[in-house]
């Protein structure tokens, strides 16, 4: 019976083309008789991974759209309650910039706070998941995590700022009779 060596590959090498290259490299040695790996399993695994990735991306995009619409509607509703204040400021001679600046500043602060809350919640979920499933710690990538946190902060600020500014401009353009 010839000696057999079994080994596992890192994630980036579990690909049909990479496995063929590895097989060719190992087969060059004269002491190696046969190199085997489950072709069907690798192909099926790649197919399942593509399908799962596509489904998860579609779900994430739909949820992101729903969340953005909910945030936008909530901010528009909050600005609806300030419509008379906005119009009164305009009627006494305040410029658009003067009216919009404090509301936009408040939107930036609210967006930053919401970004911090989202980051804290996500980080707590990651720590909890890693505690339940210790193998998840091998997937932990600090650079990508900080990039995700930065994107969450920018999204929180930009969504609130955009919605607030758009609502303020809308109420500034309306006539007094249209506010009711």
**118 and 44 housed in the same domain:** no
Q: Tell me the pTM.
A: 0.69
Kindly state whether residues 126 and 169 are assigned to the same domain.
yes
| Stretches in the chain below the pLDDT threshold 50 | none
Domain check: are 27 and 112 in the same one?
no
On whether residue 76 sits in a domain, the answer given is no
Domain total in the chain: 2
35 contacts: CB under 8 Å, gap ≥ 6: 23, 26, 27
pLDDT tens-digit profile of 141-179?
889 999 999 999 999 999 999 999 999 998 888 887 777
- In the chain, how long is the greatest CA-to-CA distance? 96
What is the domain range of residue 22? 10-64
What distance in Å separates the CA atoms of residue 142 and residue 106, rounded to the nearest whole number?
31
In this structure, is residue 42 part of a structural domain? yes
- Whether 54 maps to a domain, the answer reads yes
Positive or negative CA dihedral for 111, 109, 167, 79?
positive
Contact 87, 176 (CB under 8 A): yes
Q: Which position has the token pair 């992101």?
A: 64
């Amino acid at each position: 019976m010839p000696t057999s060596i079994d080994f596992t590959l890192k994630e980036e090498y579990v690909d049909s083309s990479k496995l063929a290259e590895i097989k060719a490299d190992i087969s060059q040695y004269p002491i190696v008789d046969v190199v085997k790996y489950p072709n069907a399993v690798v192909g099926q695994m790649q197919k399942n991974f593509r399908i799962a990735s596509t489904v998860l991306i579609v779900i994430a995009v739909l949820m992101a759209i729903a969340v953005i619409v909910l945030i936008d509607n909530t901010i528009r509703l909050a600005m609806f309650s300030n419509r008379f204040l906005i119009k009164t400021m305009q009627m006494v001679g305040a410029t658009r910039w003067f009216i919009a600046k404090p509301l936009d500043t408040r939107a930036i602060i609210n967006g930053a706070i919401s970004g911090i809350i989202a980051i804290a919640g996500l980080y707590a979920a990651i720590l909890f998941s890693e505690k339940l499933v210790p193998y998840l710690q091998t997937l932990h990538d600090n650079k990508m995590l900080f990039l995700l946190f930065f994107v969450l902060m920018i999204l929180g600020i930009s969504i609130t700022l955009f919605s607030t500014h758009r609502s303020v401009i809308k109420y500034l353009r309306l006539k007094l009779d249209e506010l009711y």
